[in-house]
Amino acid sequence: MPNQNSNFNKKANFNWLLKMAIRDGRASKKKLILFMASIVLGIAAVVSIQSFSNNLKDNIALQSKSLMGADYRIDMDNEPNERVQSIMDSLGSPDSEEISFASMAAFPGKKGTKLVRVRGIKGDFPLYGEMETEPVAAARNYLQNETALVDATLMLQLGIEVGDKIKIGEVTLPIGGSLKSVPGSAAIFSSIAPPVIIPHKFIEKTGLVQVGSRIGYNYYFKAEPSLNFEKFEEKIDPILDANDADLDTHKSTSERLGRRYENFGKFLNLVAFIALLLGCIGIASAIHIYIKEKLRSVAVLKCLGASRKQTFFIYLIQIAIIGLIGGIIGTSLGLVLQQLFPLILQDILPVNVEISFDLRTIFMGILLGILMSVLFALYPLMGTLYVSPLQALRVINNDGSKSTTAGILVLLGIFLFIFLFAFWLLEDWKYSVFFVLGIIITFSLLAGVANLFMKMIRKYFPSSWGFISRQSLLNLFRPQNQTLILVLAIGIGTFLISTLYFTKDLLLAQASLEEQAKSPNMILLDVQSEQQEQVAATIQANQFPVLENIPIVTMGVESLKGRSVNDIREDSTSTVNGWILQHEFRTTYRDSLIDSEVLEQGEWIGNKPANGPIPISVSDNFAKDAEVSIGDEVSFNVQGVLLNTVVGSVRTVDWSRMQLNFSVVFPSGVLEDAPQFRVLTTKVKDETGSAELQQALVSKFPNVTIIDLRQVLSLIEKILSKISWLINFIAFFSILTGIIVLIGAVRTSKYQRIRESVLLRTLGAKSDQILKILALEYFYLGFIGAFSGIILSLISSQLLGYFVFETSFIPSLIPFLILLPGIIILVMSIGLSNSLGVIKSPPLVVLRKELQ
Amino acid sequence: MAKILNIQNLKKSYSSGSKQLTVLENISFDIEENETFAIVGPSGSGKTTLLGLCAGLDQADSGSVELCGTLINDLSEDQRALLRNEKVGFVFQDFQLIPTLTALENVAVPLELRGDKSATKVGKELLEKVGLGDRFDHYPSQLSGGEQQRVALARAFSTKPDILFADEPTGNLDEETGKRVVELLMELNADSGTTLVIVTHDMELAKKTQRILRLKGGRVLETINA
């Protein structure tokens, strides 16, 4: 008996298997290139996103000091108390100080006013990185020359030049330079209140630092190089917290920032991964047909003495090589594509991203290419193991002899791999399980639709239809038909794209509430009580209504359920959320609920009762975070005066509405005499009306801050359009992959179609009849795929709207009107263009050519 | 002379629907080294099934097959593959060249499977010998039927097998080409001293061998000396 182990391993070793894989692949080049293309696109999508995310994260970490402009910063909403001051002294005094607030700015001699963020600076800010100004020297000289640096875009908008003047409150300063960038601010977010930098000593003189004004105090420090930031933060932060101050180190800030962008990157990466999965399903289906064609060669090889393992490995190696090459090409393409992202996204990114080639991502891309193609090819490849050498002598049918256990194992392997990839990205097993389940459900639903459709046609076959319609329907069940895979490919691509549109609808539906008739579109903040009547008169003089006049009283929580805030802070077992204890609450008083509020528990009491404690209404998130419920005592410190209240009701508040909402609302008759300021809202007609009103208000009431909500909305739209560009980009990859799968599927069944067409033509069918049969067949496929994709996305968007955005939406018709016919036409044209040559040539020529 | 193939009481049946269809029954014969042997019979008499069993491509229901001194009944598929690679050569009716390999690569594969470094050299020599010295890099689809069968012959003799099984080697060729292929087969066989087993329904071809076994309805009708 031959000794199998000793001989086989020695004889035809790996090199021979590799040689055979390459030889065989060389002759099947055309077929393999198509498989490869599906891998290339999927990998390119994943790699471009992953590499860009990594680059962004690295850049944020690298530029963390210049992002903050310091090693660490201590900030607070009030002037530092003694304790904070002594801590800062012990840290060696800040190297730079800043007071900042939002205010209206006017430009004497010029038209136009604008809400700006005034930053009064003392010292060498930024301690790291630099402010970019034009002229360059302005950043160095503005303190000495007592000039202001004004946001470059703002200057351009209003036609202001260096040398012009800016008026902030009571202070007028010459403009020393235009400010192109300040450490730590992304261009797009400063478009609502662009920065204006002035010397610190003028802050007091503006007269804008008053009770009730929202002022930020920042102290910037340089640290010893040896400082351990984590330990430092652990030690200092709790003490600062207890004194209403906060410590941010450059490290924690950049990590936080990095995480925020990383999350978005992960979401995109999952979308890209779906494109890759789609390609893999295409591979599995194509390999299935490919291997079927190879079974005879496998039988011959076995006759010549090749073992089961050897024949299996020849094709496994071949697939792995395709995966490797696809991985390399896809990774390279992805690395090139990511260069586009900074160009598109620069406004919403906090740092200048310098793209470098990240070895981790390159490795991941290539590995992913090999793993995905091998995993998805395994099941069809197992067919080679069960081929009898007898097949070389005669045709025997040994289909279905594959091991069920092995099939289940491969399937489990695929799901495990998808789970692990998702887990690697999301670092959360629950989300990863949901992702895998989501994929299984989506794919099963689409597969279910395809199967149901085929069953329905079989059951209710329209025998009365004409020959062409019947024949095209029959083609959907032909042996080795690709109906399922095509419906999946088309369905997933459509699903992704239309979900994108619906989600955009959802987001915009939320943001555009202000367009409703009575909603205000301009908010006036910081109106002092004694100014309210004159401000209201100014608004009305400009022919606009005063929609709301809301009193605001600021206060902090003093005790909860009888326990003082300090007690709770020191109790390490307390689970009361920190912000409740620190936050300076802006509260209001009124006698009724407004339309963004719904009473959830308790009873709404609009007026202060004659006796007993003051019943207040808190928002549901306040109740949850402060751990209070109806009847619990809460006392507030209203600028030195203690106010005891009980929770009378809990409201749910729709915070997403662009209007003023409150965590704490008092009944009328309590706070009327407390120090307070007012917020007035109005609705302006157009751009000119808005500008005129702003100008009138700023000249009379320099302390009043005006927010034009239309600007906020256009900002949201701008950000959304940038983000949706990215999502579109990835969805585009899914569609492209879908197209390749489609071409692959059409090609695979080409020979069969040709034989049928030729047979039909020989029997007397005209070219246009055959063309109609094919066109109808692709029409059915395109329609079922695209329609089920859109319906699925409609369902998922409704669920998203209900659970995530908490809003109902009216889906736009774009997916139905443009996407559905667009995809059907695409499917038909790809299908037909691949068959056109066949239809045009005479039957004999085709037969000879194809049979060669 | 030593026996290279010894068949005893061979039985083979297939299930056809719910029925069991007996294809071969009670087959016993042996072939000696260097002998040329033909198995003849009408279509459906079980010729190809018998060839498959003799060469270890399939397993019998009962009975024994001793090939080149090895009882192959109990060997695994891979062990039989190894035995085929070391001792057995094949020529098929429809040539069975691997379509994705060139003529030269097709001839070299069996030797490469043995890990033989001279595979390409031997392949070239054999192709020259069968008159295809100028067609090394042609794919099977670029060769005529006769040329393909000549490549198949070169492949069959490349490993200098102890025994060569030929299944209707001229079945897919016209008369003229078929004749030339048979001449070449006999010539190569004589040169290498291989035992030759031909399955055919062509009595002309069968008569060129030393012994003929006639099958009918899955049973041995007679064994005659040609």
Mean pLDDT calculated for residue range B138-161: 91
A283, A288, A291, A295 alpha-carbon torsion, rounded to 10°: 180
For residue A801, the 8-state DSSP code is: I
Phi-psi region of B97 (alpha: psi -120 to 50; beta: other; left: phi over 0): beta
Radius of gyration for chain B, computed over Cα atoms and rounded to the nearest angstrom: 17
Q: How many CB atoms lie within 10 A of CB A821?
A: 13
A389 neighbourhood in chain B, CB within 8 Å? 57, 77, 81, 84
Mean pLDDT on A315-322: 92
Give residue A450's pLDDT. Answer: 81
Amino acid at position A418, single letter: I
* 8 Å CB contact between A89 and A118: no
Residue A797 to residue A811: CA distance in whole angstroms:
9
**Whole-angstrom distance, CA of residue B67 vs CA of residue A39:** 48
Which pair of tokens denotes residue A65? 């000091």
Choose the closest CB to B100 out of A27, A390, A394: A27
Residue A552 φ then ψ, to 5°: -125, 130
Question: Nearest 5°: phi and psi at A369?
Answer: -60, -45
Nearest C-alpha neighbor of A250 from the set A427, A61, A519, A54: A61
Taking CA atoms, what residue in A is nearest to B66?
A1
> Is A808 or A155 the better-scoring residue by pLDDT?
A155
Cα–Cα nearest to A112, from A146, A169, A156, A148: A156
Closest among B87, B127, B130 to B110, alpha carbons compared? B87
Phi, psi of B67 (to 5 degrees): -115, 125
Please report, rounded to a whole number, the percentage of residues in chain A having pLDDT higher than 90.
16
- Give the residue from A300, A53, A306, A727 showing the smallest Cα distance to B140: A300
Closest residue of A to B142, CA-based? Answer: A852
pLDDT at A579: 80
Residue B156's nearest CA partner among A73, A807, B48, B148 is B148
Q: Do B57 and A388 touch (CB under 8 A)?
A: yes
Rounded-to-integer distance, Cα A782 and Cα A506, Å? 27
Yes or no, beta carbons of B82 and A852 under 8 Å apart: no
Amino acid A53 reads: S
In Å, the largest CA–CA distance within chain A is 109
The mean pLDDT of B155-162, rounded to a whole number, is 92
Minimal C-alpha gap between B109 and chain A (Å): 8
Residue B52: closest C-alpha in chain A: A390
Q: Alpha-carbon distance B102 to A109, whole Å?
A: 87
pLDDT digits (tens, 9 = 90+) for A666-713: 999 888 888 888 889 888 887 788 888 888 888 788 778 888 777 777
Give every CB contact of residue A450 below 8 A, 6+ residues apart in sequence: A483, A484, A487, A488, A784, A788
pLDDT for res A597: 87
The tokens of A686 are what? Answer: 């157009």
**Contact between A305 and B86 using a beta-carbon 8 Å cutoff:** yes
Pairing of strands A664-666, A614-619: antiparallel
Give B183 to chain A, closest Cα distance, Å. Answer: 23
Question: Closest chain B residue to A293 measured between Cα atoms?
Answer: B99
Are B57 and A306 in contact (CB < 8 Å)? no
In this prediction the ipTM stands at 0.86
**Average pLDDT of chain A to the nearest whole number:** 82
Q: Do B141 and A7 touch (CB under 8 A)?
A: no
Distance from CA of A280 to the nearest CA of B (A): 25
**What is the pLDDT confidence band of residue A397, given thresholds at 50, 70 and 90?**
low
Query: For the residues B169-190, what does the mean pLDDT come to?
Result: 89
**Phi, psi angle pair for A468, to nearest 5°:** -60, -45
Q: What is the pLDDT of residue A57?
A: 80
Buried b (16+ CB within 10 A) or exposed e, A711-724: bbbeebeebeebbb
Nearest to A307 among B78, B92, B105 (CB): B78
B79 and A392: CB-CB below 8 Å? no
Tokens standing for B95? 């040539």
Residue B6 contacts A where some CB pair is shorter than 8 Å:
no
Mutate to test the interface with B, among A17, A300, A301 (most CBs of B within 10 A): A300
Question: In A146-222, where do the E strands start and end?
Answer: 148-151, 165-168, 171-181, 195-199, 216-221
Q: Which residues of A touch B141 (CB under 8 A)?
A: 852
Closest CA to A280 of A178, A378, A402, A398: A378
Q: Please enumerate residues of A whose Cβ is less than 8 A from a Cβ of B.
A: 1-2, 4, 7-8, 10-13, 16, 19-20, 23-24, 26-28, 296-297, 300-310, 388-390, 392-394, 852
Mean pLDDT of A397-408: 68
Nearest CB partner across the interface for B115, out of A11, A23, A27: A11
Question: Given an 8 Å threshold on Cβ–Cβ distance, is B81 in contact with A305?
Answer: yes
* Chain B contact set for A398 (CB, 8 A): none
Express each pLDDT in B184-209 by its tens digit: 999 989 888 899 999 998 888 999 99
Alpha-carbon distance of A400 to B34, in angstroms, equals: 42
- B223 - beta bridge partners? B213
| Residue located via tokens 């001229």 | B170
Three-point CA angle A301, A304, A306, nearest 5°: 60
Helix ranges (DSSP H) in B94-226: 103-113, 119-129, 145-158, 175-192, 203-206
Q: Are A738 and A786 in contact (CB under 8 A)?
A: no
Report chain A residues whose CB lies below 8 A from the CB of B70.
1-2
Q: Give the least confident one: A18-22, A71-75, A587-591, A652-656.
A: A652-656
pLDDT tens digits, A721-739? 777 777 677 767 777 777 7
Strand order of the β-sheet with B62-67 is: B19-32, B3-16, B62-67, B70-71
pLDDT reading at A804 higher than 90: no
CA pair distance A225, A236, nearest whole angstrom: 18
Q: What tokens does B18 get?
A: 């719910």
Which residue is it, tokens 């009379």?
A700
**How many percent of chain A have pLDDT more than 70?**
89
| B59–chain A Cβ distance below 8 A for any pair | no
Do A382 and A57 contact (CB within 8 A), yes or no?
Answer: no
pLDDT digits (tens, 9 = 90+) for A552-585: 898 989 999 989 988 888 888 888 887 888 788 8
Mutate to test the interface with B, among A3, A393, A397, A401 (most CBs of B within 10 A): A393
- For A393, the closest of B48, B109, B110 (CB atoms) is B48
Nearest CA-CA partner of A492 in A778, A284, A748, A796:
A796
CA distance A459 to chain B (A): 27
**Partners of residue A8 in chain B, C-beta under 8 Å:** 78, 82
For residue range B66-120, what is the model confidence (pLDDT) as tens digits? 999 999 988 888 888 888 888 999 998 888 898 889 999 999 999 888 888 899 9
| Dihedral of the alpha carbons of A49, A51, A53, A56, in degrees to the nearest 10 | -140
- Say if the Cβ atoms of B110 and A19 lie within 8 Å: no
Q: Which residues of B touch A23 (CB under 8 A)?
A: 100-101, 105
Q: Mind listing the pLDDT tens digit for each residue in A432-449? A: 888 888 888 888 888 888
Q: Are A604 and A594 in contact (CB under 8 A)?
A: no
Residue A5, pLDDT score:
44
Query: What's the CA dihedral at A805, A808, A813, A815 to 10 degrees?
Result: 40
Q: Could you write out the DSSP letters of every residue in A428-460?
A: -HHHHHHHHHHHHHHHHHHHHHHHHHHHHHHHT
What is the chain B residue with the closest CA to A308? Answer: B78
Query: In angstroms, rounded to a whole number, what is the distance separating the alpha carbons of residues A218 and A697?
Result: 29
Highest mean pLDDT among A138-152, A186-200, A809-823: A138-152
Q: What are phi and psi of A232, to 5 degrees?
A: -60, -45
B172 and chain A in contact, CB less than 8 A: no
Give CA separation, A181 vs A121, A342, A714, in Å. Answer: 15, 17, 22
The type of residue at A453 is F
Q: Which of B52, B113, B139 is opposite residue A27, by nearest beta carbon?
A: B139
In angstroms, the separation between the Cα of residue A310 and the nearest Cα of chain B is 10
- CB contact (8 A) between residue B85 and residue A389: no
Task: Indicate whether A173 pLDDT > 70.
Answer: yes
Interface contact flag, A306 B113, Cβ < 8 Å: yes
Residue B31: pLDDT above 90? Answer: yes
Per-residue model confidence (pLDDT) at position A3: 47
* Nearest neighbour of B70 by CB, restricted to A1, A301, A308: A1
- The answer to whether the CB atoms of B115 and A16 lie below 8 A apart is yes
Per residue in A621-656, pLDDT tens?
999 999 999 999 999 998 888 899 999 999 988 776
User: Cα separation of A463 and A473, whole Å?
Assistant: 11
Coil, strand or helix at A14: helix
Neighbours of A226 (CB within 10 A): 5
The answer to whether residue A846 scores a pLDDT higher than 80 is: no
Interface probe for A, chosen from B109, B162, B164 (most Cβ of A below 10 Å), is B109
Are A204 and A87 contacting, i.e. CB atoms less than 8 angstroms apart?
Answer: no
Choose the weakest-confidence range: A832-841, B53-62, B117-126, B211-220.
A832-841
pLDDT in the model for residue A476: 81
Whether the predicted pLDDT of A402 surpasses 80: no
Lowest mean pLDDT among A232-236, A265-269, A595-599, B48-52: A265-269
Nearest CA among A610, A611, A629, A633 for reference residue A620: A629
Gyration radius of chain A over CA positions: 35
CB atoms within 10 A of CB A835: 23
> Can you tell me whether residue A595 is helix, strand or coil?
coil
Chain A nearest C-alpha distance from B115 (Å) = 4
- CB-CB contact of B220 with B213 (8 Å): yes
Strand partners, B211: B37, B225
Could you give the angle at which helices A429-459 and A404-426 cross, rounded to 10 degrees?
130
| Residues of chain B contacting residue A19, judged by C-beta atoms under 8 Å apart | 112
